[in-house]
Structure 1
Amino acid sequence: MAQEIFKTYFETAQGNYLFDAYFNIDHESTLSITEHPVQTGANVADHAFMQPNILSFEIGMSDVMIDVTYGGFQSFSNDSASRSVNAYKILRQLQSDRIMINVYTKLWNYTNMLIESLSASDSNETAYALKANVTLKELLVATVTTVKISERPQKTDLTNEGEQKVQEASALASFLD
């Protein structure tokens, strides 16, 4: 049986991005748990919540390799910048435009990620390449439903209004004093 080779890549509304090398990928998933005492028998889910996922990459791009993906890093702009420079420009653009990124890795698939930080060194070792650290953080998205509620409840034959007593105005006035 042939083993499927899993590729890590970024998926955006603008296209998919596959880097030449992934030196490190750090996955961080954190559950915040209350430090206050919890009553016996209480629902524990009410006292803990998930923090946004954080994903950190150390990626590499080479100017001597051919881009095998459609679009990719060759076509960022009309200038003649190299693949490594275009990759950096695309990452900066995704960050500044706050473009949501879905990231597919061997361990987990992440949705609604934004580039929180991007750092790259420029040295003689990276003259024809890019080595960058990219940190993505999940943007928690909630679905809100609006329900229209009338000011007065609808009365039906099954409505139980309780026992209704009429009070005299004088009795009510003495109660309010």
Structure 2
Amino acid sequence: MTVISNVVAVGQVALQYLSRNRKRGFDDGSGTFIIPDATIEEVHTDDMEITDHPVEQGATISDHAFKRHAEVIVTAGWSDSPNNSGLSTQLVGFAANSNSAVRAVIGAAEFAASAVGTIANIVNGTGAGSPSSAAYAELVSMQSNRTLFTIYTGKRMYQNMLIKSLATTTDQKTENSAVIRISFRQILMAQTQTVTVPDSSVMDNPQQNGATVNNGTQSLLPSPTYNANALPKFNSSGQQL
């Protein structure tokens, strides 16, 4: 196979990779797109709130309904094992299959990278800095910062989503991975606008829709003594007259 053929084949692999549909993941809108190694489960919830008004006789009256905020719970997994699905891995694999010398070099490099990663995890103690721990720490940080996400799932896309809760369990089966249950809830964004109120001199009824007027310091006045004669009267010893 010629060099030109190799370049063409590599270009085809790259084009196929870039033309794929966007994977499931979480986009924070600032250039960070979190893609789990595996999406285990997606639970979609859309509720309609129907108001109930009890009456003295007959069935409860329901005269209003409104849609509640969408919620989605994503159970995603991250592993500390090497990820073999990236474009760079595909290109390296293609090059290794083309030349035995390249295969030997790549094998030595992978072994060295694996050894360095293992030593780093031992030094860190509890796996800090591993891909699974880093993914969990990033999600916790984004939850604390109230980061708004655009969520891409297998069924639909959600906008303006906040992380409501995070839950993960570490045991003998998940020591070197992280299976995280992420609960997202949609929020409704409101836009405010500042307007200028015209002068009260051009208003038909400035007492009702005019601007606020500063009348200075006001003193309290004694309250009127309506029905004062109806109040009970007591003598000096506290007995009612």
Name the TM tier (shorter chain).
0.5 to 0.7
Alignment of 1:26 with 2:74, yes or no, is no
Q: Give the superposition deviation at 1:57.
A: 0.9
TM-score (structure 2 length as normaliser): 0.51
Where in structure 1 are there 5+ consecutive unaligned residues?
40-46, 70-78, 160-177
Give the length in aligned residue pairs.
Answer: 138
Does the Cα contact within 8 Å between 2:50 and 2:62 map onto a contact in 1? no
Where in structure 2 are there 5+ consecutive unaligned residues?
1-19, 54-60, 88-123, 205-241
RMSD across aligned positions (CA)? 2.7
Higher relative contact order (CA 8 A, sep 6+): 1
Greater strand share, 1 or 2? 1
Cα 1:64–1:35 shift into 2, 3 Å: same
Give deviations 1:104-157, integer Å, cap 9, x for gaps.
1121211111111101101111121111111011122112333333253747xx
Cα 1:34–1:91 shift into 2, 3 Å: same
Q: Pick the aligned partner of 2:177 from 129, 145, 150.
A: 129
In the alignment, the residues of structure 2 paired with residue 149 and residue 68 of structure 1 have an alpha-carbon distance, to the nearest angstrom, of: 59
Match of 1:11 in 2: 27
Runs of 4+ residues over 4 Å off in structure 1: none
Q: Give the superposition deviation at 1:30.
A: 1.2
Alignment of 1:102 with 2:121, yes or no, is no
In the alignment, the residues of structure 1 paired with residue 78 and residue 62 of structure 2 have an alpha-carbon distance, to the nearest angstrom, of: 50
Match of 1:167 in 2: none
Q: Aligned ranges for residues 3-152 of structure 1 at < 5 Å?
A: 7-12=23-28, 13=30, 15-36=32-53, 37=61, 47-66=64-83, 68=86, 81-152=129-200
Cα 1:56–1:38 shift into 2, 3 Å: closer
In the alignment, the residues of structure 2 paired with residue 86 and residue 149 of structure 1 have an alpha-carbon distance, to the nearest angstrom, of: 53
Q: Give the superposition deviation at 1:96.
A: 1.0
Larger radius of gyration: 2
Q: Give the superposition deviation at 1:68.
A: 3.7
In the alignment, the residues of structure 1 paired with residue 45 and residue 146 of structure 2 have an alpha-carbon distance, to the nearest angstrom, of: 21
In the alignment, the residues of structure 2 paired with residue 96 and residue 141 of structure 1 have an alpha-carbon distance, to the nearest angstrom, of: 19
- Counterpart code for 2:78: M
Cα 1:38–1:60 shift into 2, 3 Å: closer
Give deviations 1:1-29, integer Å, cap 9, x for gaps.
xxx75621100125000001111100111
Cα 1:62–1:53 shift into 2, 3 Å: same
Give deviations 1:65-99, integer Å, cap 9, x for gaps.
32849xxxxxxxxx861110101111111111111
